[in-house]
Amino acid sequence: MKEEQKESEDNATCKGYLHGLAIDAVIFGFHDHQLKVLLMEYKKSKIFALPGGFIRDDEDLNKAAHRVVSERTGLQNIYLEQFYVFGDHGRSDPRSMKTIMNNIGLQHDDNHWLLQRFISIGYYALVDFIKVTPMPDKIFDGCAWYPLDDIPELMQDHAQIVKKALNSLQVDLDRKLVAFNLMPEEFTMNELQAVYETILDKKLLRAAFQRKILGLGLLERVAKKWTGGAHKAPYLYRFIS
């Protein structure tokens, strides 16, 4: 845990942080033809949650979101998209948080700020899976990737947050062309199509997909990917930044 977080969570007044506001981040990565989500497992509790954090008094919201994601991935160059605000009254059930606080030895009473109602601002992040080093801190037993179709039960409304993030990502595929942020620096057209098909959960016509993507004028062809037979090697592409 970062020192500034520890200082804040060890007192009951939320000193240095905005009251009642939090950030929850759905961090997507693509690997082995699967869309995966980075999840935290709280110490000694078997409670799973999205990476999250709080907003400092003197901190811009987007910078706070970047900090939250960077602390868990080890990355600095991160694509972030704010997609929804979660404020239902029922999302603030304090029971799971009490369990977490007890297990990490954090003294509290029912008035502790972590047990009060929070409105959470949802961000999704798109990262290159192979560049991520999952980084838990001492209040977690784990920080690991889980396939989107096989994630454990999540605390509070985090499953709804993941679902909403996926819906937003599906809309943004064409509207904002965000899928490139899940790719390595160089990739084949088939690899890019696999990302689209996985996110959309449907098959796409190969010729139509390639025509559409190449027609955007956003890719440059750099080489052929060696597969053992030069005449069968697919071309590699990279995004024109």
Q: What angle do CA 127, 124, 192 make, to 5 degrees?
A: 45
Together in a domain, 150 and 48: yes
Together in a domain, 174 and 189: no
Q: 134, 152, 179 — which closes off a domain?
A: 179
Neighbours of 78 (CB within 10 A): 17
pLDDT digits (tens, 9 = 90+) for 30-56: 999 999 999 999 998 999 999 999 999
pLDDT digits (tens, 9 = 90+) for 145-176: 999 999 999 999 999 999 999 999 999 999 99
CA-to-CA separations, 139 to 6, 7, 159, in angstroms, rounded: 10, 14, 21
pLDDT digits (tens, 9 = 90+) for 215-228: 999 999 987 766 65
CA nearest 27: which of 86, 84, 79?
79
Residue 4 in this model has a pLDDT that exceeds 50: no
Are 214 and 204 spatial neighbours (Cβ–Cβ below 8 Å)? no
Domain at 24, CATH number:
3.90.79.10
Q: What domain count does the chain have?
A: 2
Mean pLDDT across 74-82: 96
Together in a domain, 173 and 235: no
Together in a domain, 41 and 100: yes
Give the model's pLDDT for residue 226.
65
Q: 179, 202, 228 — which closes off a domain?
A: 179
Domain at 222, CATH number:
1.10.10.10
CA-to-CA separations, 239 to 60, 137, 205, 216, in angstroms, rounded: 29, 34, 22, 11
Give the domain range for residue 46: 3-179
* pLDDT mean across residues, the chain: 90
Q: Return the higher-pLDDT residue of 66 and 19.
A: 66
Q: What angle do CA 157, 158, 162 make, to 5 degrees?
A: 125
pLDDT confidence tier of residue 99, bands split at 50, 70 and 90:
very high
pLDDT confidence tier of residue 111, bands split at 50, 70 and 90:
confident
Integer Cα distance of 98 and 109 in angstroms: 9
pTM score of the predicted model: 0.90
